Amino acid sequence: MKGDLVDRRVVITGMGIISPVGNDIETYWENLLEGRSGIGRVTKFDVSPYPTKVAAEVNGFEPLDYLERKEIRRLDSHQQYVLAATQEAIKDSQMEVSKLDLWRVGVIVGTGIGGITSFEEAVIARVSRGPEKVSPFAVMMTIPDLAAGYISMRFGFRGINYVASSACASASHAMGESFWAIKRNEADMMLTGGTENAICPVGWASFCASRAMSTHFNDDPPMSSRPFDKKRDGFVMGEGSAILAFEELKHALARGAKIYAEVLGVGNSADAYHITAPSPNGEGAAKAMELALKSAGVKPEEVDYINSHGTATILGDVAETQAIKTVFGEHALKLAINSTKSIIGHPLGAAGAMEMVATVKSIETGWLHPTLNQDFPDPECDLDYVPNLKRRQKVDIALSNSFGFGGHNVCLVVGRYEPNRDL
């Protein structure tokens, strides 16, 4: 990178989260470190007809803490989650919105499915009670773009504003594009991340039919998400939202902001292979990591840690392991790798952002959370996945991987903020 792209550095100055293991950053992080699983039996609807009966549902979320009662009735849960997470990120960043040039503050949010829960409810109302019983807000509760649109309207942000939708890579695409928006001098600050709630009967039925979700541990839900373990049998669906404040460095310093970490680079690729299966040997994932390292100006041997995509699918975990070996060679054996999804499940389009929070906290605190349920080593997944116990480890440079159905691959590089970093 040359010229203005080098001069405009991007740092993270605030974070907010709504999750299965905590609705504030510190609770979320404490529960990750201690390996307190957020996975339990589904409570949102009767799962007795389905082969999968476990999920990681958001717990303890009270919409009235963030929204007026009238608003709540007009918002899908994924919209409620993202507005709450944004409010927490703004508070955490200590930004004074009234003092910002709001034309220079943008919002890019990822969601894979949008308001599928509200869409299902609208269809049921139409079929069972007639068209006059469909809410006038049904479309607005369903369409993905309003996850970003509502943030701009609520807080007055008037810059770049849209939603990225690339299945499980959505939040990471949103963060990557937010990084480049600041680099290109199109914004000074971006509120970015992801949100999702697809835990509803129609979404559940489809994922069950695709045989993508775990079925073997219905009687012991915390055991069901087993990334890189030989007994893994599919992912566990999660939900929630995470929003991060990305900010141009000089802008952040001028207002005395706390800096959590620096975003160093991003890489994207497509498998062009299959709608659900990864490309052979993880070549698409490897390319995304290679491009991310190149854009960050980071050598493979400088990386300390990878927050993996790590979904606990049979093919996906092997492909990601192979991709890491391709990119890092012998250094792969020295890398610490964990899977946040072993604790929070897989929140689909929100996953990358919720994992980015964990990655940033690892840099800040010098701790890595465990990958739960690493009980039976898989010979094809033979790297260091931080099994079962948290680990004290300094992290200067980390990668966060996200791969989505449709063959979408995103890798973000983040590092400890160093004022004199040579880019």
Here the tokens at position 285 are 């994932």
The full length of the chain comes to 423
DSSP-derived pairing of the beta strands 261-270 and 408-415: antiparallel
Rounded Cα–Cα distance for residues 269 and 122 (Å): 36
Which residues are registered as beta bridge partners of 247?
A: 11, 189
Rounded Cα–Cα distance for residues 13 and 262 (Å): 9
Rounded Cα–Cα distance for residues 266 and 177 (Å): 9
Residue for token digits 């309003």? 146
E strands, 297-345, in order: 305-307, 336-338
DSSP-derived pairing of the beta strands 105-110 and 189-196: parallel
Q: Residue 143: how many CB atoms within 10 A of its CB? A: 16
**Amino acid identity at 169:** A
Least Cα distance to 202 among 19, 45, 404, 42 occurs for: 45
Known active-site residue 173: no
Residue for token digits 């201690």? 34
Least Cα distance to 227 among 317, 290, 353 occurs for: 317
DSSP string, 385-419: --BSS-EE---SEEEEEEEETTTEEEEEEEE---T
Known active-site residue 309: yes
Known active-site residue 408: no
Rounded Cα–Cα distance for residues 224 and 263 (Å): 33
Half-sphere exposure of 419 (CA within 13 A, CB side): 3
φ, ψ (nearest 5 deg) of residue 10: -115, 125
Q: Are 407 and 279 in contact (CB under 8 A)?
A: yes
134 Cβ neighbours under 8 A, 6+ residues apart: 122, 125, 126
Q: Is 121 helix (H, G, I), strand (E, B) or coil?
A: helix
Q: Are 244 and 263 in contact (CB under 8 A)?
A: no
The active-site residue out of 78, 173, 251, 346 is 346
Rounded Cα–Cα distance for residues 24 and 88 (Å): 8
Least Cα distance to 369 among 28, 2, 8 occurs for: 28
The active-site residue out of 78, 173, 251, 309 is 309
Catalytic residues, by residue number, are 168, 309, 346
